[in-house]
Structure 1
Amino acid sequence: MPVTSVEKDLDALTMTIIADFPVPVRRLWDAYADPRQLEKFWGPPEWPATFTRHDLYPGGRSHYYMTGPDGEHAGGYWEFTAVEEGRSFETIDGFADEDGAPKTDMPTTRTVYEFSETPGGSRLTTTASFNSLEELEQLVAMGMEEGTKAAMAQIDDVLADLRSFAAGRALEAQLLNDTQVRVSRVIRGTVQQVWDAHHDPELLRRWLLGPDGWVMSEVTVANAVGQTYRYAWEPTEDVDGEPFALTGELLESDPPHREVTTESMEGIEGPPARNEQTLTAVQGGTLLSLVITYASTEMRDAILATGMTEGMEASYARLEATILEAA
């Protein structure tokens, strides 16, 4: 059982939970930084979590929901008010609807997660601060303490499975719900290097190519919210295929961590997809996490059936090689 102590201070309106783990601090930190790992233990076993957004940087947000035994959903959000990579982060935690909007009639807590070394590995000290004694008692009565213990009891299995999340593995695609897919890959390189490679036209021409035999004929980058981008490809003489182009609008930008765009293929009718890309520093490089939202399940499945993820893996492998060559 990782949890070694739980202390409630009714005068200070805090609850502090200490848990010890037989792994280095970096390994424990990455379990919280990577939504693929976090959702394997955030929430009790009978209420597994799905993270549709996870931005571990100051000013970032996380949106998640837990699914109960009968399929019911309970949503939550984090606002990251402070992050010291590898050492601590602080959040405002609250309840949310399925769109991630805060439920203002429910309590919020300010929670500090502190990671430290121990002779046997690492320690996580989680201190939740409540707005009032009534809210503390309400959340404890709702099972906050028991739920946290049950959730942390699952972390050991996640920490033992480093290979599934390490650099050098191919791209992973996960269906989050009926319309969303999350594409994840660790890229060897810093967050800034990966961000720059997505915004430098000359670098984009070197790696954003999909399968062998294609070249980019146009690279128009959107660098400010409201601008549009256009990327066009054409096959070389040795490859069969028709030229095509993707275009869209930059909706949000928070360099070098997060950006949100729309995406449409020219000549194809229908509403655009929404791409939310987050870059997070992890052991071995940068976790690139791309959540794509489609207008329908049918559209999502049709696009995945084209071999989209295989083309993305080929491009990301080139991206990694481009960064390593420049280092």
Structure 2
Amino acid sequence: MPVTQITSDPEALTMNIAAEFDASVDRVWSVFTDPRQLERFWGPPGWPATFSRFDFTPGGLAQYSLTGPHGATHHARWEFLRIDEPRSYEVLDGFADADGDFVSEMAPMRMVFSFESDGDRTRFTGVTHFESLTALEQSVAMGMVEGTRMAMAQLDTVLQSLREYAQGKGTQVEILDDQHVRITRLVEGPRELVWRAHTEPELLQQWLLGPDGWRMSVCEVDPTVGGRYRYAWEPVVDPSTGSGPAGQAFGFDGETLVVDAPRRSVTTEHMTGTDYPSTVNDLQLYEEDGATLLTLLIEYPDAATRDAVLATGMTEGMETSYQRLEREVLASV
């Protein structure tokens, strides 16, 4: 977790970020000035950024949007005021309309990003200047401090190569808060094929099986926004002995909320035939050097439901399935 401190100063009308990164100044600078890398962390979990414009020059403009797990989209804009490569740059940042023009409801903020070398490490400071105390308090009330903390915590993934970050570690689970769990798994294969393996029934039935001894008896998928899906599994019974793995048939159903193929899919998930509350599952895929980092952000209704689901052995079942994905689907192409 690179962030060391985030504070607001009502007298100076600023919010201040102090962080240290295990990377050189040049590497950190590149992450903050390349829109494709910025997209991987500029936005808290569940609200990834998409930069449609990035003119990195004094007087240039950047336009981006943040899309939430239920499909809501917020647009924003940067105006680059000053650039001193690789030491600092300054932007005017604010919410915008779909055309990229600043909206009048909230005044733009001035942000100054600074980078200082400390041997093989980099000290980063970010200072956001507000026009008034009301604007500062409004931003804090909207969750800017916690959102910034969660966004910056994603930088470890970006600064390392995918294989340095995740290879050989299997399925990793992070509890982010009472409602959110983040699951990551490096999959050896291209993103396009990993996406197909999550959206095409004939591929899903080859790997999404959990522990050995189960089969996918129902696999219905409509991967478009508003489309429904339904999965069901049952234990495979040996006809000669009449025995099979312990457990009863079960299934899940849900609706697709967001699609950005082959980058992101957000769905609800409900256990079929029960009154258990649904979760929201935000799947994101990022490819680098022929490998794909799969990130699944799960939103639970409360901490009790989160803990009950994690206690079922879900992670172990997912790891078995991902191993099967690499072995049965990706390795065969």
TM-score, with length taken from structure 2: 0.58
Which runs of at least 4 in structure 1 moved beyond 3 Å after TM superposition?
19-26, 28-35, 54-60, 77-81, 91-95, 108-112, 155-164
Structure 2: 5+ residue stretches without partners = 1-19, 52-63, 69-73, 79-90, 96-102, 114-118, 137-147, 238-243
Give, in angstroms, the shift of residue 289 of structure 1.
1.0
RMSD after superposition? 5.0
Distance 2:104 2:298 in 1: 25
Give, as a single letter, the amino acid of the residue that structure 2 aligns with 1:195: W
Q: 1:267 to 1:162 in 2, by over 3 A?
A: closer
Give, in angstroms, the shift of residue 177 of structure 1.
0.9
2:281 maps to 275
Instruction: Map 1:250-265 to 2 at 5 A.
Output: 250-265=256-271
1:297 maps to 303
Q: 1:314 to 1:176 in 2, by over 3 A?
A: same
Give, in angstroms, the shift of residue 134 of structure 1.
6.6
1:266 maps to 272
> SS at the partner of 1:210?
coil
Give, in angstroms, the shift of residue 281 of structure 1.
2.1
Alignment partner of 1:176 is 2:181: no
| Greater C-alpha Rg | 2
Distance 1:193 1:272 in 2: 28
Asked if 2 retains the 8 angstrom alpha-carbon contact of 1:273 and 1:292, the reply is yes
Q: 1:223 to 1:244 in 2, by over 3 A?
A: same
Alignment partner of 1:308 is 2:309: no
Aligned residues: 247
Instruction: Map 1:21-100 to 2 at 5 A.
Output: 21-22=23-24, 51-53=44-46, 55=48, 57-58=50-51, 61=66
Distance 2:107 2:268 in 1: 33
Give, as a single letter, the amino acid of the residue that structure 2 aligns with 1:198: H
Q: 1:172 to 1:271 in 2, by over 3 A?
A: same
Q: Tell me the alpha carbon deviations over residues 214-272 of structure 1, each in whole angstroms, 9 at most, x when there is no partner.
A: 11001101222111100110111231111111000111111111111110111221321
2:215 maps to 215
Asked if 2 retains the 8 angstrom alpha-carbon contact of 1:222 and 1:229, the reply is yes
2:106 maps to 105
Asked if 1 retains the 8 angstrom alpha-carbon contact of 2:189 and 2:330, the reply is yes
Distance 1:174 1:181 in 2: 6
Distance 1:92 1:287 in 2: 32
1:144 maps to none
Asked if 1 retains the 8 angstrom alpha-carbon contact of 2:94 and 2:106, the reply is no
Structure 1: 5+ residue stretches without partners = 1-18, 43-49, 64-76, 82-90, 96-101, 113-119, 140-147
